[in-house]
């Protein structure tokens, strides 16, 4: 006899134990593999999301840099040239007759008005003015400038005790306002544009409304609404939630809310051309 009975029984027990352990190994491997795969998927999603945020941040940095460059050019070059022209006209006017002198003075006033408008425009383009004056003051200046131009009736209301939201957040909110205003002028043909800022202890709200032609809500999902999507993306960058409501013939309203106490990680860094 090759094996004793006891040896066969031992073999059966050992063999069964080994194959059962093999089963446990297979199951454990599957569970661990699945867990790792889920972890990888999560990491991939997070990486994708942070990449998107980084992309948006970079795009905004470039935009800010360009706007700042234009602002400086307007302030340091064009307004200086215009000031020189105004000065020259003043000198020229001394040697002219009364009628010509009046016409030269009219031109000087027009140039002075242009210089003033360009300076205001320069201020609205540059983030430096926003960081120095703050969001509310900048918006007030902007409202005054727009109303003076007569292209649209802009009203601004501020409620609650004002507090600083941080340079980056205020800049993003200002750019959102500019985007919304641009939409109202360019596409909505609105006559009135209303902005309301609510400063509460734990919540800041910004509501922008216009009485323009409005649009289909589906536009937000389409590629066509890139300006509107920009608003939502910019809001997300500072940890704010943006709700856009509109329907044809009923204008558009944008409601932004953010918790001023929560520091958004994506805006911790300063822009390359910012004073900070």
Query: For binding to other proteins (CB under 8 A), which residues are involved?
Result: 5-6, 8-9, 11-13, 15-16, 19-20, 22-23, 26-27, 30-31, 33-34, 37-38, 41
Distances (CA, A) of 82 to 36, 79, 93, 118: 66, 5, 16, 10
For 157, phi then psi, to 5°, come to: -130, 140
Q: Which is nearer to other proteins, 7 or 222 (CB)?
A: 7
CA 205 to chain centre: 15
Q: Report the SS3 class of residue 211.
A: coil
Q: Which is nearer to other proteins, 33 or 51 (CB)?
A: 33
Q: Which is nearer to other proteins, 25 or 51 (CB)?
A: 25
Q: How far apart are CA 241 and CA 257, in angstroms?
A: 6
For the CB of residue 46, give the shortest distance to other proteins in the complex, in Å: 14
Angle among Cα 165, 170, 171 to the nearest 5 degrees reads 155
Q: Which is nearer to other proteins, 8 or 112 (CB)?
A: 8
For the CB of residue 236, give the shortest distance to other proteins in the complex, in Å: 24
Q: How far apart are CA 19 and CA 263, in angstroms?
A: 56
For the CB of residue 1, give the shortest distance to other proteins in the complex, in Å: 11
For the CB of residue 243, give the shortest distance to other proteins in the complex, in Å: 21
């Amino acid at each position: 006899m090759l094996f004793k009975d006891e040896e066969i029984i031992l073999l059966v027990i050992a063999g069964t134990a080994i194959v059962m352990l093999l089963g446990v190994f297979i199951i454990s491997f599957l569970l661990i593999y699945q867990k790792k795969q889920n972890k990888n998927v999560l990491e991939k999603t997070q990486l994708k999301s942070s990449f998107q945020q980084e992309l948006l941040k970079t795009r905004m940095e470039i935009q800010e840099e360009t706007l700042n460059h234009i602002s400086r050019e307007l302030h340091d070059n064009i307004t200086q040239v215009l000031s020189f022209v105004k000065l020259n006209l003043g000198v020229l006017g001394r040697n002219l007759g009364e009628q010509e002198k009046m016409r030269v003075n009219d031109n000087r006033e027009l140039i002075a008005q242009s210089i003033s408008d360009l300076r205001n425009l320069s201020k609205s383009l540059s983030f430096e003015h926003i960081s120095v004056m703050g969001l509310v003051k900048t918006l007030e200046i902007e409202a005054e400038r727009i109303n003076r131009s007569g292209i649209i009736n802009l009203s601004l209301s501020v409620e609650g005790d004002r507090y600083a939201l941080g340079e980056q957040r205020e800049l993003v909110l200002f750019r959102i306002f500019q985007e919304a205003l641009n939409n109202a002028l360019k596409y909505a043909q609105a006559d009135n544009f209303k902005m309301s800022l609510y400063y509460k202890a734990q919540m800041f709200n910004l509501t922008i409304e216009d009485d323009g032609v409005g649009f289909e809500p589906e536009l937000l999902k389409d590629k066509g609404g890139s300006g509107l999507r920009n608003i939502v993306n910019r809001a997300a960058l500072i940890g704010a939630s943006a709700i856009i409501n509109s329907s044809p013939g009923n204008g558009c309203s944008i409601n932004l809310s953010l918790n001023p106490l929560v520091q958004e990680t994506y805006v911790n860094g300063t822009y390359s051309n910012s004073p900070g």
